[in-house]
Amino acid sequence: MPHDIRIVTEAELREVVRLDLETVDVVEAAFVALARGDVVMPPVMSMDLAAAHGEVDVKTAYIPGFDGFAIKVSPGFFDNPKLGLPSLNGLMILFSAKTGLVEAVFLDNGYLTDIRTAAAGAVAARHLAPADVTTAGVIGTGVQARLQIEAAHLVRPFERVLVWGRSPEKAAACAADLKERLEIEAEICTDPETLVRRSQLVVTTTPATEPVLKADWLHPELHITAMGSDQAGKQELEAACLAQADLYVADRVSQAEKLGELRGAIEGGAWAGGTPPELGAIVTGSATGRRDPRDVTIADLTGTGAQDTAIATHVAARLGDAGTLVRA
């Protein structure tokens, strides 16, 4: 039985939704739903395509009370830059939560993933970072480096951002972008240790497979959000960081222990802390967050299907007549 399906392009989506406090609240609601425990969220479907130097992840979640659920496909093909194409792509499909019919196809090339990922960083910063953040630091110089700092600035309006990356040129470009976009001071650091020691809020945004942030560098009044690791082979934080911090929080424990920083810490025997709290439990108050301004806190974000369902249903509600209707 044919029905109307709305096809929306990246350009159209960029007109409808952006990284702002409303988006942060939408993603925070997804964490609250996860904490309530009634979300149906299967493990991430992951396909490693060594022959094509690529990988594909599929995420989804059904959140009771939401009109729809998303299925999000994220391909990463790492030889694409040689062809002048971005490595990361993908789309989201929104289904009716009542009938399972396809309602919309968001041909976003990963844009919605980018902003929902950054928004999760803001949720973590909002609930875990010290109240006073004057300096934030970012490790990594890509799209998420910019968006994570932009998102964190929404909830902790710091005066200064420090940037470190393996490429000084890219770090300089990232710092220049952030300075212009946020109208704050932006410096590049020559080493990550200096960046961490000077910051109250640090976001790691790399695809590192060897730690880029050492436990020795942790200091009072620090929150770290590690959002780069989303595959079993990745690790950004030295494993000792997790146990040494006053509080370690995962977006989803079942994912973090397979795909996030928790995996390396468990495998290396550096984690004996039992089941850590999830970010949603911190938001709802059912688990305790930062207890003292001098605490060190860590949030480990692997990215959840609940975030995808939350952003996709939010977009659908705001679309109006954007996009193209196809009767199929």
Contact footprint for its own copies (CB under 8 A): 1-2, 5, 7, 9-11, 40, 42-43, 45-49, 51-52, 54, 56, 58, 60, 62, 64, 69, 71, 73, 75-77, 80, 83-86, 89-91, 93, 95, 97-102, 105, 107-109, 324, 326-328
Dihedral sign of CA atoms 172, 156, 222, 263 in order: negative
Quote the least distance from Cβ 155 to its own copies, whole Å: 31
74 or 206, CB closer to its own copies?
A: 74
Cα angle value 78/117/121 (rounded, 5°) = 125
Specify the pairing of strand 160-164 against strand 135-139: parallel
83 or 272, CB closer to its own copies?
A: 83
What order do you get walking across the sheet with 4-9 strand by strand? 45-49, 54-61, 68-77, 91-96, 102-107, 4-9, 324-327
Quote the least distance from Cβ 328 to its own copies, whole Å: 4
In angstroms, rounded to a whole number, what is the distance separating the alpha carbons of residues 132 and 217? 20
41 or 171, CB closer to its own copies?
A: 41
C-alpha dist (Å) from residue 131 to 157, 195, 242, 279: 10, 19, 21, 17
96 or 194, CB closer to its own copies?
A: 96
Q: How far is CA 45 from the centre of its chain?
A: 18
7 or 16, CB closer to its own copies?
A: 7
Quote the least distance from Cβ 21 to its own copies, whole Å: 27
C-beta of residue 149 within 8 angstroms of C-beta of residue 178: yes
Quote the least distance from Cβ 209 to its own copies, whole Å: 20
272 or 328, CB closer to its own copies?
A: 328
Residue 16's CB is within 10 A of a number of other CB atoms, namely 17
Cα angle value 327/18/73 (rounded, 5°) = 55
Quote the least distance from Cβ 284 to its own copies, whole Å: 21
| Burial of residue 9 (number of CB atoms within 10 Å: 0-12, 13-18, 19+) | middle
Quote the least distance from Cβ 6 to its own copies, whole Å: 11
Quote the least distance from Cβ 111 to its own copies, whole Å: 10
C-beta of residue 96 within 8 angstroms of C-beta of residue 67: yes
C-alpha dist (Å) from residue 236 to 76, 160, 211, 225, 296: 19, 23, 4, 10, 17
54 or 277, CB closer to its own copies?
A: 54
60 or 206, CB closer to its own copies?
A: 60
Quote the least distance from Cβ 99 to its own copies, whole Å: 5
Q: On the CB side of 187, how many CA atoms lie within 13 Å of its CA?
A: 14
